[in-house]
């Protein structure tokens, strides 16, 4: 059984403050007398559910299209519930209690519960989201060699409320200061995901040559 973890994109969805949102332009329409329906998407590559690859904050890092597709299959995902309000930090100390579980995982998913703000209070969701503290990011990088990615249910692993710490968080996770990296999967829909039924996660990016990161379709395989 499979469960979609990506949000369906909408032109009304919020974006990081100052960044472009989705625009959809009809190119041809049957109702206008054309032979087919086609559309042009004006899509920012960090909009909606997406994967940050190393090149995003690491000048020596790889771009999203430079990884083999098997890289985006995770066989040991772990979902942690760590409730957060808007504008709160996720600290290193909150992860330490889960270290034995994280040590076995190749993908760490964190459900804060703030996903509900995306529709209810979109401006606050974009401007006052939670944030993973840079020391927590460093902890994940240095203590868990099997970990390959982290995913969160808020807009960005950083927050406009906690800059420039969010820059360091991205730099740590994307390998700026290490010889390895973690992919960052942002703006996930983890609402109904059952941690006990989670088997695998597939996070397949839109493959566009030359760009750092990309929107992604993320799907969980779960037990019936």
| Cβ-count burial 68-98 (b if 16+ within 10 Å, e if not) | eeebbebeebbbbebebebbbbbebebbeee
Per the prediction, the chain carries an average pLDDT of 98
The pLDDT value given to residue 165? 98
pLDDT digits (tens, 9 = 90+) for 46-73: 999 999 999 999 999 999 999 999 999 9
Percent of the chain with pLDDT over 90: 98
Tokens at residue 167, please? Answer: 């820059």
Note whether 153 and 188 are within 8 A (CB). yes
The pLDDT value given to residue 116? 86
Structural domains in the chain, sorted by start: 2-6+45-222 (3.50.30.50)
66, 55, 78, 51: which is closest to 203 by C-alpha?
Answer: 51
Angstrom distance (rounded) from CA 185 to CA 183? 6
The pLDDT value given to residue 168? 98
Angstrom distance (rounded) from CA 185 to CA 89? 18
HEC string of 89-113? EECHHHHHCCHHHHHCCCEEEEECC
The pLDDT value given to residue 70? 98
pLDDT digits (tens, 9 = 90+) for 111-153: 999 988 998 999 999 999 999 999 999 999 999 999 999 999 9
Span 183-195, average pLDDT: 98
Tokens at residue 172, please? Answer: 């740590």
């Amino acid at each position: 059984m499979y469960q979609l973890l990506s949000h369906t994109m909408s032109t009304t969805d919020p974006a990081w403050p100052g960044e472009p949102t989705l625009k959809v332009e009809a190119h041809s329409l049957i109702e206008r007398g054309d032979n087919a329906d086609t559309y042009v998407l004006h899509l920012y590559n960090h909009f909606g559910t997406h994967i940050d690859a190393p090149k995003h904050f690491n000048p020596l890092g790889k771009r999203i299209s430079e990884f083999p597709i098997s890289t985006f299959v995770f066989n040991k995902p772990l979902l942690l519930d760590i409730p957060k309000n808007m504008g709160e930090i996720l600290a290193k100390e909150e992860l330490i209690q889960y270290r034995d579980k994280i040590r076995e995982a190749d993908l760490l998913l964190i459900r804060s519960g703030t996903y509900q703000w995306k529709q209810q209070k979109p401006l606050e969701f974009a401007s006052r989201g939670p944030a993973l503290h840079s020391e927590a990011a460093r902890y994940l990088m240095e203590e868990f060699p099997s970990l390959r990615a982290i995913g969160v249910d808020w807009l960005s692993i950083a927050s406009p409320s906690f800059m420039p710490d969010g820059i360091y968080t991205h730099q740590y996770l994307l390998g700026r200061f290490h010889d390895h990296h973690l992919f960052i999967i942002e703006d996930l829909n983890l609402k109904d995901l059952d941690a006990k039924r989670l088997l695998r996660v597939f996070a397949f990016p839109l493959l566009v040559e030359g760009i750092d990161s990309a929107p992604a379709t993320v799907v969980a395989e779960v037990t019936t």
